[in-house]
Amino acid sequence: MAKQQEVESIKQLARILTHESSQAKLVGANGEEIYIPESLCQVLCQVFSAMASGKAISIVSQEQEMTTQQAADFLNVSRPYLIKLLEQGEIPYIKVGSHRRVRLEDLRKYKEQRDSKRRKGLKELTQFLQDEGFYDEESYELDQ
């Protein structure tokens, strides 16, 4: 029962924050009020929406340094593969004692480049298959 009440409260908070004509504010225990900036309201709306759907939430700092295991998990690759990428200079890293650390921003840049290359490769493959007659765009659209 408490879980359902929590979900309803979260949904209500999301509705309040998304109401365009109102500006949300926090009220402290001493009655002090402060308006919540629009950028923070947008973040809170995303958090509330995810929580109401039963999803887990993680908040990380932009300048966060990650261990090699955390970085591998972030990229969804094995730790040995990540270390290979680090040693090949694909992703910058620093050493703290004998341990490697990778900045989150560097991981995001690498992931964005990797994903862009994948999309380009898939587009080229699709074009090749169309040119060779193996891929019929009209029948693909009908199957969807």
Q: What is the pLDDT of residues 109-126, one digit of tens each?
A: 999 999 899 899 999 988
* Band (50; pLDDT cuts 50, 70, 90): confident
Residue 62's pLDDT is 58
CA dist 76 and 67 (Å) reads 14
Q: Which two tokens stand for residue 102?
A: 């990778």
Whether the pLDDT of residue 142 is over 90: the answer is no
What is the mean predicted confidence (pLDDT) over 90-99?
Answer: 93
What is the mean predicted confidence (pLDDT) over 116-138?
Answer: 83
Whether the pLDDT of residue 139 is over 60: the answer is no
Q: Which two tokens stand for residue 99?
A: 């341990």
Q: What is the pTM of this model?
A: 0.50
Q: How many CA atoms lie within 13 A of 141 on its CB side?
A: 3
* Band (60; pLDDT cuts 50, 70, 90): low
Whether the pLDDT of residue 12 is over 70: the answer is yes
